[in-house]
């Protein structure tokens, strides 16, 4: 068995591909012994990846681009679980419609983060002006994210990542919009490593990607398994919250598992527009297609999806 160290940025549903690959035994099938290494947030997990402290992580496109720019890094996306806009908008008690959020206070943990990018993306589709129609409030990261974002004294609305919108609903907040309905290509939950790792151990990366993809497939096609994974790793016990989260993610995981060039292009453009990136990063700089292409040539997806080869 080859040991692989995986940086875990949080225990949210966005990391369900990794958790599913562990629970389904798919890493072991690929001859890998996974070790989860906890970090607080994507910036720290990606910094650990670039520093060589870990071998892989699960991240989102925008954060990966920022990490490379900040650290002179070579992180790349090697597989995708979700490649569309996937967040939801929740509003404080008393606000039940999207139109009432025009000019409201929107909470983010930091300026230029993935949530602010989602706000800019959504406002463009709604025909709103982020500079005029929103007050961005930085709530920081000194505490549980959901507690900070649900501070009604400071925030009227926030971008949520499942299971957050369903947890927020239990506190009286209203899910007023699902950004997935905008159908915008944005690289969300994805497997990442470095080009150094790709060059040094391409076969190990291919096996990691195989386990990741098998985890995605099992998670989205087996409700009992998927909900069980969420219950075990996300710390949520409410059956309805778990079910709603699984349905949302299973629906969003319907696309192909190759990294999304268009999704990375969107992420890079949004980062430049919010002032977080000094230049427009080309998607080819931060994507590696070969590990998945190699699996496809081996008819890997035929096997995990149950297609029998003709004799």
pLDDT for 276 equals: 92
pLDDT for 77 equals: 98
pLDDT for 166 equals: 95
- The reported pTM is 0.93
Token readout for 75 is: 């992180």
Q: How far apart are CA 98 and CA 76, in angstroms?
A: 36
Residues 6 or more apart in contact with residue 39 via CB below 8 angstroms: 7, 8, 9, 45, 48
Residue-wise pLDDT for 205-235, tens only, equals 999 999 999 999 999 999 999 999 999 999 8
Question: Which residues, listed in sequence order, are joined to residue 135 by a DSSP beta bridge?
Answer: 105
Asked whether the bond before 163 is cis by omega within 30 degrees of 0, the reply is yes
Q: How far apart are CA 43 and CA 112, in angstroms?
A: 12
Written as tens digits, the pLDDT of the chain (311 aa) is: 999 999 999 999 999 999 999 999 999 999 999 999 999 999 999 999 999 999 999 999 999 999 999 999 999 999 999 999 889 999 999 999 999 999 999 999 999 888 999 999 999 999 999 999 999 999 998 889 999 999 999 999 999 999 999 999 999 999 999 999 999 999 999 999 999 999 999 999 999 999 999 999 999 999 999 999 999 999 899 999 999 999 999 999 977 899 999 999 999 999 999 999 999 999 999 999 999 999 999 999 999 988 866 54
pLDDT for 310 equals: 57
Q: How far apart are CA 159 and CA 91, in angstroms?
A: 9
CB atoms within 10 A of CB 156: 19
Q: How far apart are CA 125 and CA 32, in angstroms?
A: 43
């Amino acid at each position: 068995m080859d040991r692989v160290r995986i940086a875990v940025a949080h225990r949210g549903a966005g990391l369900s591909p990794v958790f599913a690959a562990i629970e389904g035994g798919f890493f072991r099938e690929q001859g890998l012994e996974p070790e989860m290494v906890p970090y607080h947030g994507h910036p720290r997990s990606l910094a650990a990846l670039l520093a060589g402290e870990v071998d892989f992580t699960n991240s989102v496109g925008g954060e990966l681009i920022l990490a490379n720019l900040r650290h002179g890094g070579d992180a790349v996306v090697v597989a995708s679980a979700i490649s569309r806009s996937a967040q939801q908008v929740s509003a404080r008690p008393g606000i039940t419609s999207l139109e009432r959020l025009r000019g409201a206070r929107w909470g983010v943990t930091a300026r230029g983060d993935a949530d602010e990018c989602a706000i800019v993306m959504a406002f463009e589709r709604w025909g709103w002006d982020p500079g005029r129609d929103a007050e961005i409030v930085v709530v920081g990261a000194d505490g549980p994210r959901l507690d900070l974002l649900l501070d009604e004294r400071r925030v009227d609305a926030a971008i949520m990542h499942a299971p957050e919108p369903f947890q927020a609903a239990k506190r009286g907040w209203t899910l007023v919009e699902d950004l997935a309905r905008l159908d915008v290509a944005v690289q969300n939950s994805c497997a990442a490593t470095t080009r150094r790792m790709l060059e040094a151990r391409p076969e190990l990366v291919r096996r990691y990607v195989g386990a990741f993809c098998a985890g995605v497939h099992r998670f989205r096609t087996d409700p009992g398994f998927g909900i069980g994974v969420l219950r075990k790793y996300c710390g949520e016990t409410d059956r309805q919250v778990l079910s709603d989260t699984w349905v949302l993610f299973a629906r969003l995981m319907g696309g192909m598992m190759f990294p999304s060039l268009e999704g990375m292009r969107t992420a890079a453009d949004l980062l430049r527009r919010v002032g977080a990136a000094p230049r427009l990063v080309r998607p080819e700089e931060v994507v590696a297609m070969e590990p998945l292409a190699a699996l496809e040539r081996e008819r890997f997806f035929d096997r995990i999806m149950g297609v029998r080869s003709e004799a």
